[in-house]
Each structure stands twice: as structure tokens, then as C-alpha cells.
A and B are shown apart, each in its own frame.
Chain A
């Protein structure tokens, strides 16, 4: 299973979610040094909120705020059939 959401536009992020043998998060961002941990935290909390494990989340960040990251992860999870 693989699902995507978001864009590469400024203030947005592109999220790709696929099945994996453990929960893994890969982040690519111009502001990784300052906000990498915060982005990872939002993704982790969103996965926990929906009780999702064993997925690979790839996040290509273009300066997205927390609400955008959460939204794009949620949409990708829905599109991939992980949640309703």
C-alpha cells in the first residue's frame, strides 16, 4: 500500500506513506536543523492518534506549519486505506 498527499509548494509538504516492517519517518526539509524534531513530533503524534504502526512516512517539507503536516498525513492515511 502506498499513498500520497500535499504539494511541493511553499508552506506545504508532500507526504508519502507506505507499508513497512516498523514505523519509520524520513524528513527532508530546508529547515531541518531548526524544525526537524518538531516535524517528526507532529507526524508521530498523528500516527499515534490513529493508532497506526508499521508504516514508512516520507515527508518533503517546504515550510509547512503543524496543522498542514497533520492534515497531509491524515489525508494520505485515508487515501491509503489505513483509516476511514
Chain B
């Protein structure tokens, strides 16, 4: 699990070799949109050698491949299958494309939900054991819907809610769409908080200066951690499945949630 997922172009040596200085919890090395068509082959060679010689060990590393209809899809996947990475990010994911890639890799997969069909297919995709989470791609989704993408993001409310609910139902991570206004840090904070309140566990990032805010928003708050520790303590002391703390009823789901909060807090504190 990570809070911030920073996209880095796969054919840019300068960005690749600095990936561990941006303080993102996870890096998404991009072989898709940020790599021009005539340099896709060069990106594969560059990332291959980078991962063999310099791969950092203190962050999760994912690779966004080209979509399943791209002519390089299969050749790239054969190379990527040999890489030591934490998973593959599948663009324009649908149930059909997930089936296609799933039969040809053992890597964990995070589908990007960025088409109307993808939104409808989320629940079936969540049943695949290789799927470890979902990433919402709001720019392409709104383009496909023929609607304008706004700064407030009201038009993606349903997609966000749907994906977050399905992801939690199947115990998957759920990553929010990037905030594309690179200089609007207050807007980024509000957007991140809104997504976090819907259940998102992290957010994709397209500019390094967004990383600290996203990390802060998705870090469990200290008052929540203190309360979670008190709940766990009380649960250990009592033999009842449900009990009262500060006048509120505490039962199994709240105890489990408290364990998750403490585990996440401790993980991010170590970074």
C-alpha cells in the first residue's frame, strides 16, 4: 500500500535515476502516453537496464504498459515479465483486456479505470487475484463520456464512489486520479481530502511538487491513530465482541479498521 504514486516517463534517464528523491511512496514508470511512438523501443531498453543496475529498494515500482491493442503490447510484456517490479499498471482496462494480460503475466496488476465500460467492469475485475487495486483515470474517462473535466470533479463523483466501494469490498487498494493543475496546491489538498473521504487509499501524481501534500492527506491523522490504539487496548481487555468507548459503541468492523490505521501509520512513519 502506498499514498503517492508518481508517474515518471520511461524514456527520461534524468527522471528515472532521481526517482527516489521525490519522496513518493510509489513510482509508476510510464511506457504509454509520455513516451512518443518512435521511442517506445528505447524506453524498454532504458528501463530494463535501469532496473538491473540502479533500482531503489525503498519504494514500490510499477510500470504502465501500452494498452492491449498496441502493436508493442506482447513484445513489451515479455520483457516486463522479467523485471523485478511490484506490478503492472494496465491502461484502458476492461474485463476483456484484463483477461488478455492476466493469462500472460504472473505480475500483480492495477487496472486503470478510464472508460465507461471499465467503470461497469470493475466488480468482475476485482475478482481476479492478480488485481491488487484500481487507479481512476478521470481525464480519459470524461473524454470518453464527452463531458468537460472540472476542477471540483463533480462529474466523476459516481465513478470515484463506485470504484472505491468495489475496491474496499474486495480488499484492494484504490488510487485516485491525478490532479492536473500543477501549481494549485490548495486545490490539490481539497481534491485529495475529498477522495480520501470517499475511501481512496492513495493518489496518482504527475508532478513531484504534489507528492508532499498527497502524502500528508493520505497519512492517518495522529488523533485517529491515538483513538485506534485505545480501541485495540480496550478490545484486548474485554471479552465482549462489542463494547463502549467514550460513549460510542465499538464492534468488530471498527476494531479491524483501527488495526489498519495503526499498521498504515507505522508503515508510513518508517519512510
Residues of A within 8 A of B (CB): 5-6, 9-12, 64-68, 70-72, 74-75, 78-79
Contact = CB atoms under 8 A, between A and B. Distances in A.
Contacts of A5: 42
Contacts of B17: 11, 65
Interface of B: 12-14, 17, 41-42, 45-46, 48-50, 52-54
A11 B9 CA distance: 14
Given A9-B13, A68-B49, A71-B48, 6 more contacts: A6-B42, A71-B42, A71-B49, A71-B50, A75-B42, A78-B45
A71 B45 contact: yes
B13 A75 contact: no
Contacts of A72: 42, 45-46
Contacts of A78: 41, 45
Most buried by B among A5, A9, A70, A71: A71
B52 A67 contact: yes
Majority SS at the chain A contact face: helix
Instruction: Give 3 closest A-B pairs by Cβ, nearest first.
Output: A11-B14, A67-B49, A71-B46
B14 A67 contact: no
